[in-house]
Structure 1
Amino acid sequence: MSAESTPEPGIPGDTGTKGPRRRAKGRRRRPRDKRKGLMIAAWTAAGIVVLGGTGAGYLYFKLNGNIKSVDIDQALGTDRPDKVDNGSENILVLGSDTRSGSNKALGGGADDGSARSDTAMIVHVYEGHKKASVVSIPRDTLIDRPTCTDTEGGKHDAASGVMFNESYSTGGAACSVKTVESITGIRMDHYLEVDFAGFQKLIDELGGVEVTTTEKIKDPDSHLDLEAGKHRLTGEQALGLVRTRHGVGDGSDLGRIQLQQAFVKALINQVRDINLFGDPKRLYNLADTATKTVTTDSDLGSVNSLMSFANGLKGIGSKDMTMVTMPVRYDPADPNRVLVAESQAEQVWKALKNDEPIPKSATKGTATGDAKDVVSAG
């Protein structure tokens, strides 16, 4: 996290402002949300690295050297949920804000190399790899974080009633995976992390992404100003869209999640419509950016592994994805926080464990953020 004199909303230890919940403009706190972005773009990043499959010698090894990986399995040990042998896969996708280098220019704050993750999605790929469900976890969810060990071997004591994104700032990727497994009872087979500076560049190199907005979106905090209508978003605009929270809905993180989910579908459609192999230079530039942008678990930490992983997902289009937010309710003690709706969340986790569709009853009546259908693909 940035070294700031005033606690930032969303940072562990910050109690947030109190007061009644209001709609859209002027609602609640004004966080400096210059970070993360829709980091499920890691899927796209993984797909682009097929250039390595050409066996292009130097290019292959250069791309391979770009990829950062962390040994999640060693850090977590054996005290984890059992692997489910039903042909499905579970991937935790995180968006990170590393407060250094080009990310500092986008996100503000001190150039201290610290980081936080404010975007988290569990991607469940069903047996046969033809469909997927995506469950977003709100960063403002109050949870009990388990004891965890980071990838450097550091031990971190358990903590009660902390925000979900505290797990990443405390113990990095390993602690985030441990926390998600504790909440869901589901083993994460893989881990992917994308930083938002790379996300912005990747969108620009793709030539932008087309979306349609049903209302004007204006948020000075995320530098976003879009009229209602069709747009081809630049990288900067895309980043603004997936990080805005004041410009739409009730101004909460839940509304931002709905925008992120809509953008994911638009991004997937965009990539499927591009013939990357017709332009080798463009393909290489995309692959170079993508492999510099992602951090993976050790099992995915090479071009060949990412190729194999991406090939297993290439049949999944936006229409084959169900996207929901983990069932939550607003915290009556603090309008800036949410609590897990336990019985309904359990329906989600049970469905994923059994490789079944998420029932509609699991999210009925839960907090949403009121930004559904504000953005759509194309």
Structure 2
Amino acid sequence: MSAESTPESGIAEPAETGPRRGGRGRRRKPRSGSRKALLATAWTAAGVVVLGGTGAGYLYFKLNGNLQSVDINQALGNDRPTKIDNGSQNILVLGSDTRSGKNKKLGGGTDDGSARSDTAMIVHVYEGHKKAGVVSIPRDTLVDRPRCTDPQGTTHPAASGVMFNEAYSTGGAACAVKTVESITGIRMDHYLEVDFEGFQQLIDDLGGVRVTTTKRIDDPRSHLNLEAGPHTLDGRQALGLVRTRHGVGDGSDLGRIQLQQAFIKALIDQVKHVGVFTNPKKLYDIADTATKAVTTDSDLGSVDSLIDFANGLKGIGSSHMKMVTMPVQYDPANPNRVLLAKAKAQLVWTALKNDKPIPAAATKGTAAGDAEGVVAP
């Protein structure tokens, strides 16, 4: 698969650094992380909340109470790119990998409460909200991180040549947003963070996701063993599929992104056909799981706001999503790291700023993994 047709949910491996940075409001146990197809979970969560929001009274307040939010606007102030009012929206969708609690069992990490942004995607919803462009940011990209202030009020000086996922570890959600805006020059209108454990539960609540594998996948590290052929994956298997990097292709993180892209499309298409309207319990279970699985920016931090947001997404199916990986090249000094291909990346950012399709030239010849076709559409 060429880079131009390759997305990325940048799911990653066990833990690295830094405590999870919380949002505002009440404190909870550290939320599980997500190195999975978080775009699908975020899309699903938003779409399901539209359904869940049709309830009233207790159910409404229960779902509303599930949501956590982070006040990105207050944290970053006015030192941000100008908001472009052309009818489009830019959303940073992030998956954080918290190494504690149930996530330790699921992810194989240490129970130290640390967190990383193992998956990051910029979702650009075009004017009219009929199609979307998705740009995945490889977690191993070496970037220049701007100065950030973490939720505890500690200011961290800017750093050059650090891994992208270090931004979240250093300064939480606001620092991740600030770093993305620094790289792209594009203001993020919204922020969605997806939970690791919640993703697995959501797949189970949906009754599994149907995929077809064209090759056998056997990866003990992600607890996945699938023969070639059709499968209905439960939550644990789905999590294993989007985490695996050693069981298929060249074993790279970029290759894993290809699997995630195929899975995201399968999940989004399936959600559109789930018969939750005729099954109130299933509707509630999905809505409950979905609202627990996401952390949002404060503008989306209520069921009402999330419903409005989701209404703007529900017409976008997988066939109307252009998914690419941020243009990168392998680092000559370290094959396990990638560097931003600045000239080609600028083609992507310019297209999104102008609400135009991402040109094929932007990703042609850039680094890509080798897991094409392992999960068939």
- 2 CA distance for matches of 1:52 and 1:227? 36
Relative to structure 1, the CA distance from residue 361 to residue 300 in structure 2 (aligned partners, 3 Å threshold; closer, same or farther) is: same
The 3 A distance-change label for structure 1 pair 339 and 49 is same
Is the 2:14–2:109 contact (alpha carbons within 8 Å) kept by the matching residues of 1? no
Task: Say whether residues 1:332 and 2:302 are aligned partners.
Answer: no
Alignment pair present for 1:39 and 2:47: no
Partner Cα distance (1:210, 1:371) in 2: 19
The residue type paired with residue 358 of structure 1 is I
| Residue 271 of structure 2 is aligned to residue 297 of structure 1 | no
Q: Which runs of 4+ in 1 moved over 6 A?
A: none
Q: Shift of the alpha carbon at 1:373?
A: 2.2
Relative distance call for 1:12 and 1:152 in structure 2 (3 A) is closer
Q: Secondary structure at the match of 1:346?
A: helix
Distance in 2 (alpha carbons) for counterparts of 1:134 and 1:207: 26
Q: Structure 1 regions of 5+ residues with no counterpart?
A: 1-7, 14-33
Structure 2: tracts of 5 or more residues without a match: 1-12, 19-32
> What SS is found at the alignment partner of 1:201?
helix
Higher normalized contact order (CA 8 Å, seq sep 6+, divided by chain length): 2
Aligned pair 1:251/2:216, yes or no? no
CA contact (8 A) 1:75 1:153 kept: no
Question: What do residues 120-173 of structure 1 show as CA deviations (whole Å, max 9, x unaligned)?
Answer: 010000000000010010001011111112334331111111101001111111
TM-score by length of 1: 0.89
Instruction: Give the distance between the partners of 1:319 and 1:51, measured in 2 at CA.
Output: 22
SS state at 1:98 partner: coil
C-alpha spacing 1:9/1:305, structure 2 compared with 1 (3 Å) = closer
Structure 1 residue 9: Cα displacement: 7.6
Change in Cα spacing, 1:196 to 1:9, as seen in structure 2 (3 Å) is: closer
Contact kept in structure 1, 2:15 and 2:99, CA below 8 Å: no
**Percent identity (aligned):** 77
Cα displacement string for residues 153-206 of structure 1 (whole angstroms, at most 9, x for unaligned residues): 331111111101001111111110001001111100000001111100000110
Distance in 2, Cα, partners of 1:45 & 1:228:
30
- Match of residue 191 from structure 1: 191
1:77 aligns to 2:81 (yes or no):
no
Give how far 1:260 is off.
Answer: 1.0
| Distance in 2 between residues matched to 1:211 and 1:162, nearest whole Å | 36
Distance 1:236 1:52 in 2: 24
Corresponding residue number in structure 1 for 2:131: 131
> Partners in 1 of 2:143 and 2:364 — Cα distance?
21
Greater Cα offset, 127-136 or 153-162: 153-162
Offset from partner CA, 1:286-334 (integer Å, 9 cap, x none): 1111111100000000111111111100110000000000011111101
Letter of the 1:297 counterpart: D
Q: Which moved more, 1:160-169 or 1:226-235?
A: 226-235
Count of equivalent residues = 350
1:319 aligns with 319
Task: Provide the C-alpha distance between the structure 1 equivalents of 2:56 and 2:303, rounded to a whole number of angstroms.
Answer: 12
The one-letter code matched in structure 1 to 2:270 is: Q
**Amino acid of the structure 1 residue aligned with 2:305:** S
Equivalent residue for 1:227? Answer: 227
The CA distance in 1 between the partners of 2:177 and 2:204, in whole Å, is 30
- Worse-matched range after superposition: 103-112 or 60-69: 103-112
Partner of 1:373: 373
Q: Quick one: which amino acid aligns to residue 104 of structure 1? A: K
1:357, 1:133 → 2: CA distance? 7
CA–CA separation in structure 2 for the residues paired with 1:113 and 1:12? 9
